Structure 1
């Protein structure tokens, strides 16, 4: 766990002050009212719906929720934490002591009972930012480059020429053409993500998969593609992604505590292994909302943020969701994103609405039972309609 102390850069002074209060206020019986909302006129519009969502969370309508934050116009309008007795909850499930058992409370949802919460596939979205920074700083590389030559140290001389033609952008947009099944339950031993996380060498497992379509033609959600992106970042930068993240993303944003899982052969789990505090996940959302800028410094290029959060491709389902560079775009029109977000297993969300200058963060751990309501829909179904009717 990274614990180096440095001067923390704030979202704004007011948000930083609120976050400091969060860290110093452990006495709330259920940690439900962490900040005292100032009842200004701009906040009254939101307070009723925020209170309603908070009440529904407390009553279990959204299942097991650990944190709910809402930031608009650089003001922290809501921040609620909820205590769950995971030790008792998971007793009826398999709790064998292995790293990737999702009911092992040493790892999930908090790392070793710290404030660091699993992000699951929101890790992919942060991996995308880190790749964007790498490409910004190394202009000899581009998303149109073939991926295989950048996977140094691995056998990439495949007879199937389709595999040789996979580009960085194909991996970013989940159009690799690799045969991959990640649609079943994570404990299904035929699920490629399950097999991947049980293997000794993740990159080699991904590369061993046969092709079933031409690269760049069909969206198939594939965590293995993000594993390859992590290795490509290493090739471009000469650094393992955790070191690159600390230097180019976490330190500039004042993120001083994090944990990132290592794979059995000493690489980093770039598809689902990052743990951050909710406050720091909110900083990632703020960076994206501000077109890649933080305190006036361009951390990742505006062009990378724009394409990452645009509906480059469409998921193969009835929801008409778009997908950019490892970011989901659930609401969009004419190629422009109205809402985008990072989406992680169990209920990890950082969602952004540029139109309303708004960020929502949720942490939860709904892995065994499906809740009545989904926090993924809160921005679209509960918050945006209120704002439209202001």
Structure 2
């Protein structure tokens, strides 16, 4: 199968429609069925790294796939009793903003509204991520990122509609840090990465030194695929329980429909690709972690098509035209 998949991928690449592809790592039932590394220009956030020759150990921005990893960490912390359950009022955990808590509309916000990106506030990330008009960039530039998120103008009752919002994930990151007494990189290393044997990662921070819960992680693709394997196994690895199984099931239950048709759970997308149910972590530029439970398959894709309106095409093409046709 490995040779067949590589031949399929080579054919796609020679034909040219998968421009910007940097790497693919696909694992099925614990066995690597496809691993490919290429050369291309890359960035770490908005800083150019020049042309990079990618390899098995090369770290890559996973951008907003970080949100899905934050969702995993939230489940671990919840299992330890260190963060509030989804039903808890959100502003109860931000007592430093009493002026916001007395607003009856904001008082309706719960942790679940952050988990499902349905805060009901004004938030637009449709602009390039080097523009201060992009809400996530404005959040990073704000004197207090959490006040910036929580005091955004209210557009509708929370829970009404999914709106893509890195600020929602930033709030979850703060809850994890406050509850565990550790930064996201420290908690992630101890409770998730080290148990999986992932020793090499970076978690980028904003100007305030806070690790970005929404887009800061850099991982090697095969380590990203390992996170997908953990999801497939409902939170166990080599017989060790890392994430509560009930959290994995709860996290992946569809709750709201996105603006482009997929369903959304807790920081993960649930969609249909090639007629199969796919659980997806997605990031700017074509970063993807695909988890296909019925095939016991996980596929990590990294690419360099940042801010390209058609960035989604390359990872979907790899999955639909290279990998799925070879799966029995």
TM-score (norm 1): 0.76
Give 1:49 deviation, angstroms. 4.5
Instruction: State how far apart, in whole Å, the 2-side matches of 1:85 and 1:121 are.
Output: 19
Report SS of the residue matched to 2:138: helix
Q: What is the aligned partner in structure 1 of residue 249 from structure 2? A: 306
TM-score (norm 2): 0.89
Report SS of the residue matched to 2:27: strand
Rate the CA distance shift 1:250–1:329 in 2: closer, same or farther, 3 A: same
Instruction: State how far apart, in whole Å, the 2-side matches of 1:296 and 1:248 are.
Output: 15
* More strand, by proportion: 2
Instruction: State how far apart, in whole Å, the 1-side matches of 2:13 and 2:181 are.
Output: 44
Contact 1:201–1:264, Cα closer than 8 Å, also in 2? no
Instruction: State how far apart, in whole Å, the 1-side matches of 2:45 and 2:315 are.
Output: 24
Larger Rg: 1
Contact 1:62–1:372, Cα closer than 8 Å, also in 2? no
Are residues 1:69 and 2:25 paired?
yes
Q: What is the aligned partner in structure 1 of residue 203 from structure 2? A: 260
Instruction: State how far apart, in whole Å, the 2-side matches of 1:206 and 1:109 are.
Output: 35
Q: What is the aligned partner in structure 2 of residue 353 from structure 1? A: 292
Total equivalences in the alignment: 323
Q: What is the aligned partner in structure 2 of residue 375 from structure 1? A: 315
Unpaired runs of 5+ residues, structure 2, are none
Instruction: State how far apart, in whole Å, the 2-side matches of 1:306 and 1:231 are.
Output: 23
Moved more, 65-74 or 220-229: 65-74
Are residues 1:279 and 2:218 paired?
no
Instruction: State how far apart, in whole Å, the 1-side matches of 2:138 and 2:82 are.
Output: 35
Give 1:316 deviation, angstroms. 2.4
Q: What is the aligned partner in structure 1 of residue 190 from structure 2? A: 247
Instruction: State how far apart, in whole Å, the 2-side matches of 1:107 and 1:262 are.
Output: 21
Contact 1:176–1:215, Cα closer than 8 Å, also in 2? yes
Are residues 1:325 and 2:281 paired?
no
Instruction: State how far apart, in whole Å, the 2-side matches of 1:329 and 1:347 are.
Output: 17
Give 1:270 deviation, angstroms. 0.4
Give 1:244 deviation, angstroms. 1.1
Instruction: State how far apart, in whole Å, the 1-side matches of 2:139 and 2:254 are.
Output: 28
Give 1:204 deviation, angstroms. 2.5
Q: What is the aligned partner in structure 2 of residue 342 from structure 1? A: 281
Contact 1:118–1:273, Cα closer than 8 Å, also in 2? yes
Instruction: State how far apart, in whole Å, the 2-side matches of 1:123 and 1:378 are.
Output: 21
Contact 2:60–2:302, Cα closer than 8 Å, also in 1? yes
1:49-64 correspondence runs (5 A): 49-57=5-13, 59-64=15-20
